[in-house]
Amino acid sequence: MNYSVKSIFFLLALLFAPSLMVAQNNIIDEIVWVVGDEAILKSEVEEYRKEILMQNQRIEGDPYCFIPEQLAIRKLFLDQAKLDSITVQESQVSRSLEYMMNEYIASAGSAEKLEEYWGKSLATIREDMRNQLREQQLVEGVQQKHFGNIQLTPSEIRKYYNGLSQDSLPFIPTTLEVQIVTVEPEIPLEEIDRVKAQLRDYTEQITSGKSTLSTLALLHSEDPGTALRGGELGFMSRSTLTPEFANVAFALNDPQKVSNVVETEYGFHIIQLVERRNDMANFRHILLKPKAPKVSLDTALIRLDSIRIGIMDKKITFDEAATYLSADKDTRNNKGIMVNNSSRGSNTGTPRFALNELNQDIAKIAGEMSKGEVSKPFIMINAKGREVAAIIKITDRNEGHSANINNDYQVIKQMAENAKQQKLVDEWLHEKIKKTYVRIDQGWLGCEYKYEGWLK
């Protein structure tokens, strides 16, 4: 790093002030590390620890050893970002910020509880998070520039695999490929009218001042993702909402007003504007779902049973039933083949599912089935939260096993590339640490660090 005269005097001062205190927000703070001409404050370490706890992440070892080293590494990357003239896209920072704020508020339970957890206002939390996300993009820019183009030959991948011990190979869980046919039970008009009347009654309570939408959402909304937040969706763009919902929601201008009843594939809603920011807005809503009576569910099961008999008697194929008879619009144009859109595993975007990535009602049935088997009809809750009747077919099943290069080449390839990338990062950090001034406060010594060279 290049040092200015000002930064040199700053560093000299630190040498003679091992426990320098600085005033910040009326709280005395402590400089615990210095990396180049950047200080790491005790408050930064504490906030990082809180963030880890909020995200339910685990730290191996002493957090007061692990966290300062991680912050020091980030400062090395940020220094390199200046040297490389890496820039960030503020629009991407803003999108990520709104997503993270929504997640944090949901995790805390409310905006007020989030403020209590962090001990600062929502505006300050937002600004701090914006800075963190901006820094994260800079770090990722450096990583992409210096370590992002890892390409290994098949022989290098095989050499890496041959060098692995059996214990270090990941376990590949049982995966399934599933086709589905569904029939939606008929919902009587009387039930739909009941739901609409209930929502209109809620609107009357809100406009008359007897209650608020947030209170009624907490008590009655059938959207589990927002009910505990008083119906708040968090900031979203028009494109992330269903068209029917977005058209009505983005036409709202007065936060005191409540929309007319809106029907979507999830059910019926009333909507209230909370706040608008450019092309994004935050809304509250109450969702109610009409319930199918038992007679309608039984009729749907009987209908599916006759379809299954036709498949078993080879009068119709499962592909044909899924294409022409299924109510599932997400799969019927794909011959009923389900696609994994879960963000939990490594199968996203493929027809392959681990059991814990499947709809839980489907997983209960599919877990006991063999390849080629067609299930009996059953009732499930679909992705829209509605009861439907379904039959499934297992088109492929791979039992759980330790990864091997013949059946799991892509997994081994990714492991090899990750290992190569980590090796390059470690070598780069080793050289960067050697060339960088580092001072650690006496009270923060005595740690075992991942990288050597911090202690000069």
69 belongs to a structural domain: yes
Residues 6+ apart with CB under 8 A from 226: 217, 232, 233, 284, 285, 287
Amino acid 455: pLDDT = 85
Q: Which amino acid is at 284?
A: R
Q: Tell whether 132 and 33 lie within a shared domain.
A: yes
Read off the CATH number of the domain in which 34 is found: 1.10.4030.10
95 and 212 within one domain: no
| Whole-number pLDDT of residue 16 | 36
Query: Looking at the predicted structure, is the pLDDT value of residue 9 above 50?
Result: no
The span from the CA of 84 to the CA of 316, in Å, is: 62
In a domain, 154, yes or no: no
Domain total for the chain? 3
pTM score:
0.69
CA torsion through residues 246, 252, 258, 260, sign: negative
- Identify whether residues 128 and 56 lie together within a single domain: yes
Q: What is the pLDDT of residues 188-234, one digit of tens each?
A: 999 999 999 999 999 999 999 999 999 999 999 999 889 988 999 98
pLDDT at 21 over 60: no
Residue 20 confidence (pLDDT) above 70: no
Structure tokens at 270: 């009333």
Residues 49 and 132 in one domain: yes
At 155-165, the pLDDT tens digits run 999 999 999 99
Range 141-150 burial, b when 16+ CB lie within 10 A, else e: bbbeeebeee
The answer to whether residue 426 is domain-embedded is: no
Q: For the ranges 31-35, 55-59, 227-231, which has the lowest average pLDDT?
A: 55-59
Whether residue 388 sits in one domain with residue 333: yes
The residue ranking higher by pLDDT, 428 or 446, is 428
Segments forming the whole domain that contains residue 256? 189-288
| Whether the predicted pLDDT of 94 surpasses 90 | no
Inform me whether the pLDDT recorded for 79 exceeds 50. Answer: yes
Are residues 310 and 269 located together in one domain of the fold? no
Residue where a domain terminates, one of 261, 288, 315: 288
Q: Do 179 and 316 share a domain, yes or no?
A: yes
* Range 167-188 average pLDDT: 94
Which string of DSSP letters, residue by residue, matches 8-50? HHHHHHHHT-TT-EEEETTEEEEEEEEETTEEEEHHHHHHHHH
User: Domain with 307 in it: what CATH number?
Assistant: 3.10.50.40
Specify whether 249 is located in the same domain as 306.
Answer: no
203 and 237 share one domain: yes
Residue 156 belongs to some domain of the structure: no
